[in-house]
Structures are given as structure tokens and as C-alpha cells.
Structure 1
Amino acid sequence: MKYDSTRHHRRSIRLKGYDYSQAGFYFVTICCYQRQCLFGDIVNGLMQLNQYGEIVAETYQSLSFRYSYINLDEWIIMPNHFHGIIVLTDKPCRGVSRNAPTPPINSKPKRKPLGRLIGAFKTVSTKKINLIRNAPGSSVWQRNYYEHIIRNQKSLNNIRQYIINNPISWNVDQLHPNNPSKW
């Protein structure tokens, strides 16, 4: 079968020409495959993580230990999606990634762009979850993710409040499986 490049072409939602490895605040939303509720339940306005949700939390938090230029701001795991603010700093890398050797002393280390960081997070969490549920190769996350470059303090504060209040507004969330205005 001949490959048809137009058949699988997807329009990128990323800002064209923007360097996603540069320092900045980035808001990301990552949805579960087919928006299935895998990570726990909302009980009395609070998210109660299950074993898979705990894996997602652990994997996400490990990003800031694995990559010295990452700080994690506000974040929340919901039953079928994840919201987080990732801060890429100008702090130099420690060279702790197992995928790349420690750079020579006189060279400037190359940082992974946001998309590669999200890809690493999704890959590691998927492998760990699938190991537990004995489902090798099964999808946990949807392809791609939503991102927003946070450009000012007002936007940062609004997004923080949105993340904090997400569990309280779960019943009317557009990603809630019973919402009539589904995706």
C-alpha cells in the first residue's frame, strides 16, 4: 500500500515558529485515551486518586527531578485528564537525563522542548500503568495535548484558579463523561 501523506496530516496546534524549549510558563492539558476515567473519582469536590492516578502523579513529579530546568507549578489529576503548569527555567541542566550524556563543560546543554517532555511523561506513565493492568501496548493517553503559553501574571493567576477549582466543577466540566456537550 502506498503511503498517502495527506491522509495522516494533522494540523499542528502549536504556535508556529515558537521555541518551546525556551524559558517560560506553559499550561498543559492531557486527556486519557477515548476520555475514559482511569485515574480515580471526584468525591465531595476532591479528587481521590486510584493506583493509576498515583502513577501519573509520581511520573509528573519526577520530571522536575529528572530535568533541572523544570519547575512544576499548580497541577491536578482528574478522572480522565490532567492539567498542569510547567515552568521551564534558564537554570542550566545537570545532565541527568539517561538519554543524553553529560555535556562537555564548555558547551551549552540542550534542553528538551515541551513536546518532548510531555512525550516522556506520557510514555513512562503509560508503561507503568500498563504493567499493572497487564495490558502491554494499550493506550492510556490521547495523541497530542493542549498547551497554552502563559504570558502574564493575570493569566497565570486565572489558570492556577482554574486548576484548583477543577474538581469542584467536575460535574459541568466539558471532559466529564456525562456532559451533554461532549467533545
Structure 2
Amino acid sequence: MSQKFQNKYRISSARLQNWDYGANGAYFITICTQNREHFFGEIVETQFIASELGILAEKFWLEIPEHFPYVELGNFVIMPNHVHGILIIDKNASVSECEFVVETRLIASLPMPIPETTNKTGGFAGNKTPMLQDNISRIIRWYKGRCSFEMRKMHADFGWQSRFHDHIIRNEKSFETIQNYIEKNPMNWNEDKFCGK
């Protein structure tokens, strides 16, 4: 459903309205390439063969915990036109004697000590701006931006869909089911709804 904001139509968010996407928990994420183009490689006899862009997609996914120390990676898979992965947020595990905040602008990351009083503001949303919070949106923005910057050096037409799919994993059974789904994704490529056939 479209809503008006500042006299422009926008699509309603697919995010769960009352959920804090920076809360500790496990999140199943799917990010698709623009028009579901097969930038990342191909499936050959149930095996994923990565292209140069697919290798970069994996490399930067593995780097997520380096930039966001409160994140652990669950299973993930790079597919021809999308990435599936589980991100586990555990902010309790990332607290140390000398805390650092990582300011990220697409590709540049510099660790800076947290000041005594942090007064973050951003646009019309003020402190509620998602990009100033340690949450899933900020992580995915960094990942997509980092990939885009490097991948466009090799393939100028590379792009992502503007949104991403997320699912909050609420129990151990669901976690195991999704872990298995991700692991078997290349074998089930022909039945995958993201296949883009």
C-alpha cells in the first residue's frame, strides 16, 4: 500500500512495525540483485560456480563482523542473483573495557572511541534515523554499498534491488530449518522463487 510523505508517494515498509531491528536475535536476510540479474555466477549440476562478483559478494559478507562486532554469521550462501544469510545480533558479547563505535559511509570505516556524551541526530527522524542505529538496516546498507563500490569497477551495470527481505527467527526449530534451507539452496535452484526464470 502506498502512503504520502512530503507530498510524494512511497511504498509502505515491509519491516515488522513494532520490532526493534537492533535487538538481539537472529535474522534471515535475502538481498537480490537488480532485476534479479545473474551477476554472481551460475549453478552447474547443483553446484554454485562463482563469478568475480560472486567472490566479492562472499568476501564482503564474511567481513560484516569486522565492521559490526556485535554480529555473528550463521549459514549464508551466494547464489547467481541473490544472497541468503543469517545475521545474529548479540550486543552483550561485543561489550569490552574500551568500546568503539564504527562510523560507516558506504565503504570507509574508522573506529573511533565513544565520546562521553553522544548526541546523534539525523534528518527529520532525529535520533530515530535507522542509519545511526546499530541495526539490520545499517549492516545491509554497509554490505550493499561496499559490494556496489567494488563490483562497479568490474561491471558498471551492477546494482541491487533497493530493498531486502528479512525474517525474524523466533525459535530453535525455525533456526535449524532456515540453516538447512540456506545450505541446500544451490541443490534446489530450479525451485527457488528467486531463480528469476
The TM-score with structure 2 as length reference comes to: 0.79
Alpha-carbon distance, 1:52 to partner: 0.1
Match of 1:71 in 2: 72
Gaps of 5+ in 2: 105-110, 119-131
- Structure 1 CA distance for aligned equivalents of residues 64 and 113 of structure 2: 17
What's 1:177 paired with? Answer: 196
Shift, 1:139, TM fit: 4.9
Please give the residue correspondences for 1:1-150 in structure 2 after superposition, counting only pairs within 5 Å.
Answer: 5=6, 7-89=8-90, 90-92=92-94, 94-95=99-100, 97-99=102-104, 101-104=112-115, 112-133=134-155, 135=156, 138-150=157-169
Q: Quickly say closer, same or farther: Cα 1:104–1:7, change in 2 above 3 A.
A: closer
Report the equivalent of 2:122.
none
By how many angstroms is 1:104 displaced?
Answer: 4.0
| Helix, strand or coil at the partner of 2:14 | coil
The code of the aligned residue for 2:70 comes to Y
Take 1:45 and 1:25, find their aligned partners in 2: how far apart are those partners?
A: 27
> How far off is 1:66 after superposition?
1.5
Deviation of 1:8 after TM superposition, in Å, equals: 3.1
Cα 1:87/1:4, change in 2 over 3 Å: closer
* Contact map agreement 2:69 2:94 (CA 8 A) in 1: yes
Alignment: residue pair count: 171
Cα 1:68–1:80 shift into 2, 3 Å? same
Deviation string 1:84-128 (CA, Å, 9 cap, x unpaired) is 000000223552624462214798xx8511011101100110111
Q: 1:163 matched to which residue of 2?
A: 182
Q: Does structure 1 conserve the Cα–Cα contact (< 8 Å) formed by 2:76 and 2:182?
A: yes
DSSP-derived class of the 1:38 partner: coil
More strand by share: 2
User: What is the identity, as a one-letter code, of the residue corresponding to 1:97?
Assistant: V
Q: 1:54 to 1:19 in 2, by over 3 A?
A: same
- Once the two structures are aligned, what percentage of the paired residues are identical? 29
Partners of 2:30 and 2:43 in 1: CA distance: 18
- Kept in 2, the 8 Å contact 1:66–1:96? The answer is no
Q: Unmatched 5+ residue regions in structure 1? A: 179-183
Tell me which residue corresponds to 1:153: 172
Quote the RMSD (CA, aligned, Å): 2.3
CA–CA distance in structure 2, aligned partners of residues 125 and 35 of structure 1: 16
